[in-house]
Chain A
Amino acid sequence: MRNFTLPERELMGSGHLGCQGCGGALAMRYVLKALGEKTIVVIPACCWTIIAGPFPYSSLKVPVLHTAFETAAVAASGVRAALDIQGDTETTVIAWAGDGGTFDIGLQSLSGAAERNENIIYICYDNEAYMNTGIQRSGATPLLAWTTTTPEKTPKSEPKKDIMGIMVAHRIPYAATATIAYPDDFIRKVQKAKSIYGTKFLHVLAPCPPGWRAPSEWAIKLSRLAVQARVFPLYEVEDGERYTLNAPQADEPALPVSEYLKLQGRFSHLTEKDIQTIQGIIDKRWQKLLKLVQS
């Protein structure tokens, strides 16, 4: 059971335009609960462009800057600079981007911000494809997944980009993974990120029921299974070198990846051999992660 108290204040209002069971919406809710009202959110093109509500409305009770697709990290840097020069070092600035805006089009400006160690929290809510434009493959789409641009006959032939590896290679002070089924872990990481100066990166797995072709009520379940099956281990890396594994535990028996894949229509075309291939990759990555954690 949870051994934490979720902050009460709701800074994400109801009436937002997220789909039923939207993992990205829930992730935002957690983040704002963790950070509080002294937070400014920079949102590039992504699902949240819509979820936040059209002009003249906003579903968030904190300031929001919508910006172009590839600019989340740098626009956040600009906001940070303006606050600093005006003497406000208390407000937290977060860049809130999807996987397309992070793994693909926004990687350059993210890398620039990380290299400059901009004092921002960059949160990538990863739903593993361009969901807002209608489920096209991105650099974050997993191997062999169906999307509208990787149809079942030619599913995605490349594995997901290792964005954590990329960010850790920047030796930023803090990088961590989180997901919605683990709110205590998630909130702790956001608050930890807030307490550290410099560029903090959170990679958040945010299940997308429509895009993953799964019932909306399974949003949390899928998030949980992803962790339990080691598809998306929860860990954190400080200063590019100190790894800590949060879940699943190293000695915990692994859930077969098929338990995670079989619930999702985007993987319904997989053969037994495909699943074994995926399991092999996951096992290999897990061993690599364990080595990093132990070293």
Chain B
Amino acid sequence: MKKPIVFTSEREMPPMAVSLADMGHNRTGGWRYLRPIYLEKIAPCKNACPVGNDIPRILSLVSEGRYEDAWRLFRETSPLPGVCGRVCYHPCESFCNRKNFDEALSIAAIERFVADACFELEDKIPERPKRSEKIAVVGSGPAGLACAYFLAKDGYAVTVFEAASQPGGMLRLGIPSYRLPRDVLDREIELIAHWGVEFRTNTTIGHDLSIERLWEQHDAVFIATGAHRGRALNIPGEEFALQGLEFLKAVNAGQAVSVGTRVLIIGGGNTAMDCARTALRLGAQPLVVYRRMREEMPAIAEEVEEAEHEGVQFEFLAAPVAIRRLNGKLEVECIRMRLGEPDASGRRRPIPIPGSEFVLRADSVLKAVGEEPDLSFLSEHLETSEGIVIERAHGVLERAGIFIGGDAQTGPSTVAQAIRSGKEAAQAIKSFLRGERPPKPHKLEEALRINFHYFTHAPRVSTPQLPISERITNFVETKRAISGAQARAEASRCFSCGVCNNCDNCWVFCPDAAITHTNGTYRIDYDFCKGCGVCAEECPRNVISLVEEEL
């Protein structure tokens, strides 16, 4: 009944006060000053994921045992779930809303589980238009691989140039296999190749082929050569110290490397941790020398913890000032540090304590104080006048058609950041080739108001690990996979923040019966919604927002 009943005469009225219509004419929507709207928000995990994995949706699929669908969803946003599930520092978990309820979800363990579960899966390549444009990707680390993958998915002809004999970049050269088994890496690169990406290994740009030539032969070039040049300590006797990254490369390449018993690793980053744990596996007794305290270490906390568990020793608040060779051994003279005021990085600045020098003896010293990109292969021509201008967001060189990304652009960062960079470069290249402006990323509000009442406590899955004794003598992957049942249970812990999962709460609790639900979608009838706000308050996952009515 949309219109009110108007009696013009008593003769039109029934004898008694009997109802003749419903209250449909009474548009109680006019009472409203706050309007509930379904506004899906970005889950903090997804927002924190550099790759942009659609974590809540993936977890929902996993909870239903739909691993293959979850796998495909991962691969919508990343070509390397198997890699990320192992080596990503998972900021998703740090931002997980569930940590305020009991414990954050073990998203990384689920990602790895899904990748492993779908390891043998045939990649179905959909029919897609082939494009004539040719793109060269220089470097096959995570940035290069991601860029190649996303371009190939769109039908572009992509050739990846790799200086080493196998693709993978830092994933293969730098990361030890106890963290990232090579079969996983090989398989994921194989899948990228499966999409039509061509790999040209043993081809160093600037040596085997000039960048100029490359540019002539391609419509666009993406430079993702990483950051491989180790920083110097700038102390006397530096020549006695080996670059940590070079040590890792040699070990990872299967070369026989001898470091002796006592190995000093200078630095507190991930390279330092990898060096220490690798040296341990070669039978050495590694000692990490770091100038600040443990809390300030740039390495992923979990890596530091693992290193410690495995028996790596630490010497905090110490910095080398000179290295000397004496009777075939090395003497590292260090100075004790104290922590002063925070510096630009927010960490407390180490200050040497005068007269506190002491000596550490070692068979070898590995320096791991950071790496930087080596872009010397870029020609004079490209470095003229303005030099290399990097448009930060999209990695576009000023010279149209040449793009740069990954660690080569930013200096050493994480695998996930590199993937993101490669993906953004792919998008920038597509826009460039189409003569468009790159699309602006749109910012979604984060889902942070979770109604904990609708969830029950459940412990976080713990990832099984090899016993220490079984780890330190070999390069077998230390972390084991969780089971399917564990993965489903863990995924079921997901709050699905900001994503409607059809729980019906809004419909159930509406005191005005102003919400309808059909085929999994909800509709608010604003003719009748009084704006009480119950639906927004009782939405477990912050999907509904209340906005002020415009008068």
Contacts and interface: CB of A to CB of B under 8 A. Distances in A.
Touch A–B, Cβ below 8 Å: yes
Interface of A: 1-2, 6, 10, 12-23, 25-26, 29, 53, 55-59, 61, 64, 180, 183, 209, 215-221, 224
Given A14-B528, A57-B22, A219 B512 contact: no
A15 B22 contact: yes
Given A12-B513, A216-B532, A57 B26 contact: yes
B344 interface: no
Nearest to A8: B517
Interface in B93-142: none
9 contacts: A1-B454, A14-B512, A14-B513, A16-B23, A21-B534, A58-B22, A59-B22, A215-B533, A216-B534
B contact residues, range: 35 or more
A226 B14 CA distance: 45
Contacts of B551: none
Given A23-B511, A26-B509, A217 B26 contact: no
Contacts of B507: 6
A217 B546 CA distance: 11
Contacts of A19: 530
Nearest to B537: A217
Interface of B: 1, 5, 7, 13-14, 17-28, 31, 453-454, 503-504, 507-514, 525, 527-528, 530-534, 536-538, 546
Given A13-B23, A14-B24, A58-B23, A21 B17 contact: no
B51 to A, nearest CB: 30
A82 B511 CA distance: 32
Nearest to B538: A220
Contacts of A15: 22-28, 528
Interface of B is mostly: loop
A59 B511 CA distance: 13
A172 to B, nearest CB: 29
Contacts of A57: 1, 5, 19-23, 25-26
B28 A56 contact: no
A56 B21 contact: yes
Contacts of A219: 511, 532, 534
B199 to A, nearest CB: 48
A180 B510 CA distance: 11
B508 A6 contact: yes
Nearest to A206: B511
A126 to B, nearest CB: 16
In this complex, the member of B21, B507, B534 whose beta carbon has the largest number of chain A beta carbons within 10 angstroms is: B534
A21 B20 contact: no
A209 B530 CA distance: 14
B17 A218 contact: no
Contact of B17 (A6, A12, A16, A56): A56
A220 B540 CA distance: 13
B18 to A, nearest CB: 7
A42 to B, nearest CB: 15
In this complex, the member of B511, B514, B537 whose beta carbon has the largest number of chain A beta carbons within 10 angstroms is: B511
A64 B19 CA distance: 9
A19 B14 CA distance: 29
B148 to A, nearest CB: 43
Contact of B534 (A6, A14, A56, A220): A220
A13 B14 contact: no
Given A53-B19, A64-B19, A14 B508 contact: no
Contact of B511 (A18, A55, A215): A18
B11 to A, nearest CB: 14
In this complex, the member of B14, B23, B31, B537 whose beta carbon has the largest number of chain A beta carbons within 10 angstroms is: B23
Q: What 6 A-B pairs are tightest by C-beta distance, nearest first? A: A217-B533, A15-B23, A14-B528, A58-B19, A20-B532, A21-B532
Contact of A17 (B5, B26, B508, B536): B26
B512 to A, nearest CB: 6
